A = this chain, B = another copy of it.
């Protein structure tokens, strides 16, 4: 125990988080690993000042040419490479994910930086053919202003970087409100960012990236402010349902990344060994606390018994324990509430006819003070109410299907629309799944699980997932304003659509 706390302090120190920052406030940060208190942080008191600083920073930063802005992001990428081990470990410590996943999350930050650097010389608008002689049309993209980022505990650093790497090259400052459960990772990122700024030089205005610490109030101030034109919020559907209308009412823009209830269809032709591995990783990774975690398994009846048996066997042998132990595959839930929610869901599932395998709390061989459980598989008679609900825990509901239409209908019959996949070797099924009448999710994969997206694609989902997109493709456009320009360089004034109006 002691040993580990020491390690935490060492990591925090190497990440530049010194005692004066870590102590003296009222927000207690505990590690899900063992419930140890890592810090007591002061909450941000003056949101107005923060927003004002961002507003001032914006007026300077938008004047810095985008490729030069990209240079700052390149340096950020370098600093992240240098801090990868420590930051990854802090993520494990604060969010409870296993070491490899903590490292992977930092790698994702690095990847998005690389991507954004290239993008900083693009930010392509269009030149467009005009119907009028002597006129030139184009569509240009301009910086939009401060971007507010609200992130959740389960991806305590990557989500910030997705937004920030793009927001920065697009010419915008960022204000980040991390989860109250994972503020240390945020503070560490801020230190890393400032290292990059220092190397970058004076073109970067003060207040280009700010972290605000606190609870719902802090976030609400940002969400309500007209001076924060873009709010990128990751969290529960409940949160999004509150944030979206407030931002809409003030004509701001929301990028919402909310709940998922992600399914896999396993077809008769699936490579079952591969499917099993994909299922276990995507259902159990991050202890089932990814927004893209696999929660529903829709299996062809012909292979259902076999597949469930394999899964039950695989689950039984999964090493549950401290995420800091390299042998562990299943770390703790984020806190005891999460454990309670999981148990309630399993109870509901039983009432609704489910047969539960696993799911019990684990107390032996694990650090005391953490919410450890064995992941659960629940064989369900149908897609009942509890299955349609996202429970942020490692519960995998299994249901059968007999033809693909039915399976796709089941996949789509939940309110969320984030991620989905099919395992099949049949090209007709594979293509059908990604067609107009296939999955209705923002992500639809074939022969890989629903989680673990690459940064090159747009990330996000439909329906109650909120509709936002981050990361790759043209997600950068959400951080800019679009302008349509017509330049008349003739000495005539023709009207569009042939309208005549001669005075």
Contacts and interface: CB of A to CB of B under 8 A. Distances in A.
A210 B248 CA distance: 27
B496 A452 contact: yes
Number of copies: 4
A63 B434 contact: no
Given A65-B129, A495-B281, A487 B122 contact: no
Contacts of A495: 104, 281, 452
Contacts of A452: 495-497, 499
A359 B241 CA distance: 46
Interface residues of A, number: 132
A424 B430 CA distance: 13
A122 B456 contact: yes
A458 B139 contact: yes
Contacts of A490: 428
Interface string A70-83: 10001000000000
A129 B138 contact: no
B132 A489 contact: no
A101 B425 CA distance: 36
- With most chain B CB atoms within 10 A of its CB, the pick from A138, A244, A248, A469 is A248
Main secondary structure of the interface of A (DSSP, over half): mixed
Interface stretch (A272-280, A296-304, A360-368): A272-280
Contact of A427 (B103, B240, B463, B489): B489
Contacts of A487: 427, 430-431, 434, 445-447
Interface of A: 62-68, 70, 74, 100-101, 103-105, 107-108, 111, 114-143, 171, 240-241, 244-249, 251, 253-254, 256, 271, 274, 276-278, 280-281, 285, 314, 317-318, 329, 424-432, 434-437, 439-448, 452-459, 462-467, 469, 472-473, 481-491, 493, 495-501, 503
